[in-house]
């Protein structure tokens, strides 16, 4: 039960932009989109490992790369002792027989010009299993097993409903009698009543055939329902992995906590539940944040050791800092809004932007520093404004990249236990910097 | 609480080559002023068409065939009373009996709508600010001159480029409406609204664009906002942001909201009252507590039992057997539409059930509201031959929850040809 069937180690899948011959000739720098950025985990025999994350976090790319439907740019996958990316010939065929995949979209994942029987027997034909009659018989049995009837074997996909098509997709995945099935969002296109039917079917078939599942979904309730263990992905990385019960009852990573809190419950108490929503959007995987990739949205962003501001104030300052560093604030437009095209009344500019950006009461020192930065901005010196804020409000989260330690329920966050090298890097960073000055008011 | 909208026996049908589709059938409900009505149902249940019918956006071959939509607006009632006294009842006006022009003038200023997919609801070649300013401008001109309520469609592409060259100053929007657009963007929580207003839709993320669409819908300060699956295309953390925003706007602007969704959690988070739709009918309605804690209709119970509970994972889900029926008139049996999937179908169910009162304000279209289930009256096997999962009738439940707007029409295309 606890033997790993699949071991993934440091898996990376980058897509490159600006990578055409012309770009290379002109010396343009190629740009990496880090869809999967160094992921390690194992899937144990007979379990269901759920992978959750928001769109764009790389969970589907992970599944496709793991199955070698795409070639990785780094790392390795071991399936029952065999290195998947080094297999070829008969060994590769054997891997393809033992591992199967079922896709999300019931409409585009079945060939509209093949009958249900042809779809289900195709993997058998490819691997040369049985005679035509035997294959057909097997397809009929499979149809019955997934809750359809054998006399539907000659129907085309358009004659089935969405839930029925997903059953056919599942029958196709099972046809070759695999041990390991990757389920990529198998129920997210279905209505809730039909979704429950398919989830029950997946659970029944797993019990009957000792299947191992890698279950990918964005719906946390579904993942909790079906998984034994859960991995949470954010921006191409696993930020937390552990037994389902622990992930849902005792989440460690701030992202997991926020994700769980965001799910609306179908319950009459839901209205009064206070949800601390996380702000902002997922950053682009072209240009992920330095250090911890979640730090731009993290409610628990760590303050530098010399600072002791209220957490809410620190977050507002950090968000304001991000806006300045990204150049989101257009100084010209601001001046226009202040109604001072000659740019003489700097105090009015500072007051207007400060009032807009800060709801919290900042401690006096911090208000001074922020206003100093805005003054620099008013003069058009964005670099100086950013530097002023950076000096005082740098967080260890942006300098030190947290890692996912080994263990039963690790979390990739500096607030939790980290491997020695990460702890050492953090100490070094903190020792490296003396407490900076306090800003204009004290100078 | 006063009622803002009273809908009575509303029916909307689509007349297609495959036959008549009863997308919405005799639907009645009330929207109270300043409250949120949640409309929940699976794809093909008619919830989106209900929303479109409310603001008169049903397109051919669809048509509202009967019913009344009473809208509470004393000013409008007074104005209409002279011409059409039959359309007025106290402060209420029956929108269905107003002229096309009058109905159109209410769109945006009285009713507004936001759609599911923000990415495809904006014109990609016009800045977000311009598109919101356009909505604001329409309202501004309408209030300045009530007779000119015509919306103007922006040209784009080569034609616009050439025309802009010849007539450089032909902007429809004014500085005033642009300022209003920036103000609206700020209201819906977009940082640096003045800068973002100049950007194009592709420069916005999905969540930001949904905020922008809400801003556009608010341009006319509507009494009622119809939100059709406003968070379905969004990630769960963004969904939480948008739901918070909607709740906040609804409260501060004293708007009423009709929230259409398939997600029971979203309903529980924001709705005051709930209508559950199935096969074009409202099968149960009442307060959130009535419907969630004390459901009567087996479909409502089944829907609640199908959702895995994130806080209390059970061993096994209890799904509803079978699929949603297609809505082709000729295929619809003359009995309770849910009977063939219902675990408690009785001989009573072989006739069409009326809406029963369960308690004050809580109604269900099911005989179980009146009497207990008894084995003795169970429907004998074989009496209900209908679309079940194994029988494999096409069409019905085959549309994903993503495609609500078109779902009723797309189910026509794979529906079997009817005989009439």
Q: How many domains does chain A have?
A: 2
Whether residues A200 and B317 touch (CB distance < 8 A) is answered with yes
Residue A257 included in any domain:
no
Round to whole Å and give the CA distance between B184 and A365.
34
Domain identity same for A327 and A243: no
Residue A294 included in any domain:
no
Q: Containing domain of residue A196, as a range?
A: 4-250
Tell me the nearest-neighbour CA distance from A78 into chain B, angstroms.
32
Using DSSP's 3-state secondary structure scheme, residue A100 falls into: strand
Closest-CA residue of B relative to A189 is: B400
Residue B396 touches partner A, C-beta closer than 8 Å:
yes
Residues of B in contact with A335 (CB under 8 A): none
Domain identity same for A126 and A201: yes
Distances (CA, A) of B135 to B139, B189, B256, B323: 7, 19, 20, 41
Of A163, A193, A268, the CB nearest to B302: A193
Q: Which of A250, A274, A301 is the last residue of a domain?
A: A250
List for chain B the helix, strand, coil content (%; round to 5). Answer: 40, 20, 40
Residue A266 included in any domain:
no
Residue of B247, B255, B219 whose CA lies nearest to B231: B247
Q: What is the pLDDT of residue B386?
A: 47
Whether residues B306 and A264 touch (CB distance < 8 A) is answered with no
What is the value of pTM for the model shown?
A: 0.85
Closest-CA residue of A relative to B314 is: A225
Whether residues B306 and A161 touch (CB distance < 8 A) is answered with no
Question: For residue range A241-299, what is the model confidence (pLDDT) as tens digits?
Answer: 999 999 999 999 999 999 999 999 888 888 888 887 788 888 888 888 889 999 988 99
Residue A99 included in any domain:
yes
Q: When comparing pLDDT for B139 and A171, which is higher?
A: A171
Q: In the block, which residue shows the tokens 């599944």?
A: A63
Of B208, B308, B398, the CB nearest to A162: B398
Indicate whether this complex's ipTM tops 0.85. Answer: no
Residue A376 included in any domain:
yes
Check: CB of residue B323 under 8 Å from CB of residue A196. Answer: no
Residue B164 touches partner A, C-beta closer than 8 Å:
no
Check: CB of residue A226 under 8 Å from CB of residue A202. Answer: yes
Q: What is the mean pLDDT of chain A?
A: 89
Beta-carbon count within 10 A of B246 CB: 25
Round to whole Å and give the CA distance between A386 and A391.
9
CB neighbour class for A62 (10 Å; exposed up to 12, middle 13-18, buried from 19): buried
Q: What is the pLDDT of residue B395?
A: 39
Decide if pLDDT at A304 tops 70: yes
Question: For residue range A112-125, what is the model confidence (pLDDT) as tens digits?
Answer: 999 999 999 999 99
Whether residues A264 and B195 touch (CB distance < 8 A) is answered with no
Domain identity same for A341 and A223: no
Round to whole Å and give the CA distance between A6 and A84.
10
Please name the residue ranges forming H helices in B46-192.
47-54, 74-81, 100-106, 118-121, 128-144, 158-166, 175-187
Closest-CA residue of A relative to B322 is: A194
Question: For residue range A19-51, what is the model confidence (pLDDT) as tens digits?
Answer: 777 877 887 777 888 899 999 999 999 999 999
What is the percent of chain A where pLDDT is above 90? 56
Domain identity same for A215 and A66: yes
Q: What is the pLDDT of residue A379?
A: 86
Q: In the block, which residue shows the tokens 């010939």?
A: A89
Domain identity same for A205 and A337: no
**Residues A135-148, mean pLDDT to the nearest whole number:** 92
Residue A423 touches partner B, C-beta closer than 8 Å:
no
Domain identity same for A376 and A231: no
What are the backbone dihedrals phi and psi of residue B147, each rounded to the nearest 5 degrees, phi first?
A: -85, -15
| Positions of chain B with pLDDT lower than 50, given as ranges | 149-151, 386-420
Of A225, A244, A263, the CB nearest to B236: A263
Residue A123 included in any domain:
yes
Domain identity same for A79 and A221: yes
Q: Which of A233, A250, A267 is the last residue of a domain?
A: A250
Q: What is the pLDDT of residue B288?
A: 95
Whether residues A54 and B319 touch (CB distance < 8 A) is answered with no
Domain identity same for A53 and A129: yes
Residue B120 touches partner A, C-beta closer than 8 Å:
no
Q: What is the pLDDT of residue A231?
A: 96
Q: In the block, which residue shows the tokens 């509201």?
A: B369
Question: For residue range A179-219, what is the model confidence (pLDDT) as tens digits?
Answer: 999 999 998 888 888 888 899 999 999 999 999 999 999 98
Q: Tokens representing A220?
A: 């946390």
CA A147 to chain centre: 33
Distances (CA, A) of B144 to A304, B137, B224: 56, 10, 22
Q: When comparing pLDDT for B341 and A438, which is higher?
A: B341
Q: Which of A227, A250, A273 is the last residue of a domain?
A: A250
Residue A190 included in any domain:
yes
DSSP 8-state secondary structure symbol assigned to residue A417: -
Domain identity same for A179 and A31: yes
Of B307, B321, B398, the CB nearest to A161: B398
From chain A residues 280-339, the ones with a CB under 8 A of any chain B CB are: 281-282, 323, 328-330, 333-334, 336-337
User: What interhelical angle do A364-378 and A346-357 show, nearest 10?
Assistant: 120
Task: Spell out the long-range contacts of A348-356 with Cβ–Cβ below 8 A and sequence spacing 24 or more.
Answer: A349/A374, A349/A378, A350/A374, A350/A375, A350/A378, A353/A329, A353/A377
Cα pseudo-dihedral B33, B36, B41, B43, rounded to 10: 90
HSE on the CB side for B251, CA within 13 Å? 9
Domain identity same for A234 and A368: no
Residue A290 included in any domain:
no
DSSP 8-state secondary structure symbol assigned to residue A277: P
Residue A208's CATH number: 3.40.50.300
Round to whole Å and give the CA distance between A182 and A173.
9
Of B265, B390, B397, the CB nearest to A266: B265
Whether residues B392 and A155 touch (CB distance < 8 A) is answered with yes
Confidence tier at A171 by pLDDT (50, 70, 90): very high
Domain identity same for A358 and A437: yes
Domain identity same for A155 and A237: yes
Residues of A in contact with B288 (CB under 8 A): 268, 271
Q: Which residue out of A56, A109, A228, A264 would a mutagenesis test of the B interface target, given it has the greatest number of B Cβ atoms within 10 Å?
A: A264
Residues of A in contact with B118 (CB under 8 A): none
Q: In the block, which residue shows the tokens 């740098």?
A: A394
Tell me the nearest-neighbour CA distance from B348 into chain A, angstroms.
25
Distances (CA, A) of B238 to A243, A279, B230, B241: 26, 8, 11, 5
């Amino acid at each position: 039960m606890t033997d790993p069937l699949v071991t993934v180690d440091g898996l990376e899948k980058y897509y490159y932009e600006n990578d055409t011959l012309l770009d290379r000739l002109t010396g343009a720098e190629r740009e990496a989109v880090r869809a999967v950025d160094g992921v390690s985990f194992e899937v144990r025999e007979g379990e269901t490992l759920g992978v959750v994350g928001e769109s764009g976090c790389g969970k589907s790319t992970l599944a496709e790369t793991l199955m070698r439907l795409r070639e990785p740019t780094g790392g390795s996958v071991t399936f029952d002792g065999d290195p998947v990316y080094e297999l070829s010939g008969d060994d590769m065929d054997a891997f393809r027989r033992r591992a199967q995949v079922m896709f999300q979209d019931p409409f585009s994942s079945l060939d509209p010009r093949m009958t249900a029987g042809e779809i289900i027997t195709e993997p058998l034909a490819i691997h040369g299993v049985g005679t035509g009659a035997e294959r057909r018989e097997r397809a009929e049995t499979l149809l019955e097993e997934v809750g359809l009837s054998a006399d539907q074997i000659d129907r085309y996909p358009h004659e089935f409903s969405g839930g029925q098509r997903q059953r056919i997709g599942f029958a196709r995945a099972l046809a070759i009698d695999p041990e390991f099935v990757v389920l990529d969002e198998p129920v997210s296109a279905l209505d809730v009543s039909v979704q429950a039917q398919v989830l029950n079917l997946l659970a029944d078939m797993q019990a009957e055939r000792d299947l191992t599942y890698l279950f990918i979904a964005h719906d946390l309730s579904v993942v909790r329902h079906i998984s034994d263990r859960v991995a949470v992905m954010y921006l191409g990385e696993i930020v937390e992995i552990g037994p389902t019960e622990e992930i849902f009852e005792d989440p460690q990573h701030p992202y997991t906590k926020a994700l769980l809190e965001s799910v609306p419950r179908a319950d009459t108490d839901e209205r009064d539940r206070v949800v601390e929503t996380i702000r902002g959007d997922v950053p682009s995987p072209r240009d992920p944040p330095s250090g911890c990739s979640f730090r731009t949205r993290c409610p628990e962003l760590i303050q530098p050791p010399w600072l002791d501001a209220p957490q809410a104030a620190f977050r507002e300052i950090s968000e304001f800092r991000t806006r300045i560093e990204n150049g989101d604030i257009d100084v010209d437009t601001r001046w226009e809004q202040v109604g001072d095209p000659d740019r003489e009344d700097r105090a009015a500019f500072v007051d207007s932007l400060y009032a807009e950006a800060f709801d919290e009461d900042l401690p006096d020192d911090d208000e001074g520093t922020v206003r100093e930065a805005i003054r620099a901005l008013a003069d058009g010196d964005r670099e100086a404004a950013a530097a002023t804020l950076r000096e005082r409000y740098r967080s260890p989260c942006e300098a030190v990249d947290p890692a996912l330690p080994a263990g039963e329920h690790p979390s990739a966050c500096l607030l939790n236990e980290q491997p020695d090298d990460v702890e050492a890097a953090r100490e070094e960073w903190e020792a490296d910097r003396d407490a900076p000055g306090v800003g204009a008011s004290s100078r | 609480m006063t009622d803002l909208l009273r809908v009575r026996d509303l029916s909307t049908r689509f007349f297609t080559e495959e036959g008549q589709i009863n997308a919405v059938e005799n639907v009645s409900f009330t929207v109270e002023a300043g409250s949120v009505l949640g409309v929940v149902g699976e794809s093909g249940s008619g919830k989106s068409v209900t929303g479109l019918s409310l603001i008169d956006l049903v397109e051919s071959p669809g048509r509202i065939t009967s019913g009344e939509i009473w809208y509470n607006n004393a000013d409008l009632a007074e104005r209409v009373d002279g011409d059409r006294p039959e359309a007025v009842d106290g402060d209420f006006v029956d929108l269905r009996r107003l002229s096309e022009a009058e109905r159109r003038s209410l769109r945006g200023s009285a009713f507004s709508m936001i759609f599911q997919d923000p990415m495809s609801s904006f014109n990609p070649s016009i800045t977000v600010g311009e598109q919101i300013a356009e909505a604001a401008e329409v309202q501004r001109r309408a209030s300045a001159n009530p007779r000119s309520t015509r919306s103007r469609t922006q040209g784009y592409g080569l034609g616009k480029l050439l025309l802009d060259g010849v007539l450089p100053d032909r902007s429809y929007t004014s500085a005033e409406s642009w300022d209003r657009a920036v103000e609206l963007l700020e209201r819906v929580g977009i940082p640096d609204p003045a800068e973002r207003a100049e950007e194009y839709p592709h420069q916005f993320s999905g969540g930001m664009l949904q905020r922008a669409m809400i801003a556009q819908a608010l341009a006319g300060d509507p009494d009622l906002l119809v939100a059709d699956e406003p968070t379905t295309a969004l990630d769960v953390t963004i969904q939480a942001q948008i739901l918070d925003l909607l709740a906040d706007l609804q409260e501060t602007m004293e708007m009423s909201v009709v929230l259409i969704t398939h997600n029971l959690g979203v309903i529980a988070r924001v709705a005051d009252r709930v209508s559950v739709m199935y096969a074009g009918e409202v099968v149960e309605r009442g307060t959130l507590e009535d419907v969630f804690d004390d459901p009567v209709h087996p479909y409502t119970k089944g829907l609640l039992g199908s959702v895995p509970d994130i806080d209390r994972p059970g061993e096994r889900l209890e799904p509803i057997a079978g699929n949603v029926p297609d809505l082709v008139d000729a295929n619809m049996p003359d009995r309770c539409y849910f009977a063939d999937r219902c675990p408690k179908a009785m001989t009573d169910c072989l006739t069409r059930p009326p809406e029963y009162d369960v308690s004050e304000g809580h109604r269900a279209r099911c005989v179980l509201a009146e009497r207990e289930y008894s084995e003795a009256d169970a429907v004998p096997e074989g009496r209900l031959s209908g679309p079940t999962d194994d029988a494999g009738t096409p069409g019905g439940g085959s549309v994903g929850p993503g495609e609500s707007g078109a779902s009723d029409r797309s189910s026509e295309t794979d529906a079997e040809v009817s005989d009439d």
